[in-house]
Amino acid sequence: MENHILKIENLSAYFGKNRILKDINLRISREKVTAVMGPSGCGKTTLIRCINRMHELVPEAKVSGKIFLYEENIYDLHPIILRRKIGMVFQKPNPFPTMSIYDNVIAGYKLNGIKISRSEQDKIVEESLKKAALWEEVKDGLYRTGTFLSGGQQQRLCIARALAMNPEIILLDEPTSALDPKATQRIEELIVELKKTVTIILVTHNIAQAARVSDFTAFLYLGELVEYGHTEKLFTVPEDKRTEEYLTGKFG
């Protein structure tokens, strides 16, 4: 049986007349880490913003093609429902500055008007922070704002916030690019741990990071999907010369 959670078919994305993605076809495996890499401006972020329908929030942005979550076309789902199934963590940690750590974790419920009991909230907060490997560090300060945390802790708080909605997929858009090496290592360890229960799509320009944490890698160049496959194979015997040139640092 095919174990694909996400199927992308002939996806093109535009800003005005400018075509950013060109007929992308991709199948994402469930409970694996798929890295999306390529030089700046190749369409990596646009691709994942299409997957949770954030791309269409931008004026003059449009898409063609289809994306299926299991068998359901995501364009048939209400965007709020979709974003509960497909969470996103951005490049720069962005906890809500006026909210406590506790409220940050359950923000998705409050913002979407989903009412849950206090005991349920407590359970979700603790479980999500544990999954994000942050509970032990913050459990005695849950009602302080998230802004006193270090950059790496703030990013793990954002991951906890995404996990709290119990998503099928988490999109990580260069989640460590603003972090120091030690914090980056913590996030990478967390990514490997999380794939036991959730599918992860990781945008990264860090080739070594893709090699360390991903099971599959997609290489984008100038809006096209040049190559896609098992990370180990793609890194050792790439089929396309452009992939090889990117991996050896000839451009990017």
Q: What domains can be seen in the chain, in order of their start residue?
A: 4-247 (3.40.50.300)
The dihedral built from the CA positions of residue 49, 198, 69 and 207, taken in this order, carries a sign that is positive
User: Which pLDDT score, from 0 to 100, does residue 2 have?
Assistant: 60
In the prediction, which pLDDT does 1 show? 39
Torsion of CA 151, 252, 221, 219, to 10 degrees: -60
Q: How far apart are CA 29 and CA 49, in angstroms?
A: 18
pLDDT for 250 equals 83
Q: pTM value? A: 0.95
| pLDDT value of residue 211 | 96
For 37, the 3-state DSSP assignment is strand
DSSP state of 67: E
Do residues 240 and 248 touch, judged by C-beta distance below 8 A? no
**What is the chain's pLDDT, residue by residue, as a tens digit (252 residues)?**
368 999 999 999 999 999 999 999 999 999 999 999 999 889 999 999 999 999 988 999 999 999 999 999 999 999 989 999 999 999 999 999 999 999 999 999 988 888 999 999 999 999 999 999 999 999 999 999 988 899 999 999 999 999 999 999 999 999 999 899 999 999 999 999 999 999 999 999 899 999 999 999 999 999 999 999 999 999 999 999 999 999 998 876
pLDDT given for residue 202 in this prediction: 98
Strands 216-221 and 224-230: antiparallel
Is the CA virtual torsion 115, 118, 123, 125 positive or negative?
Answer: positive
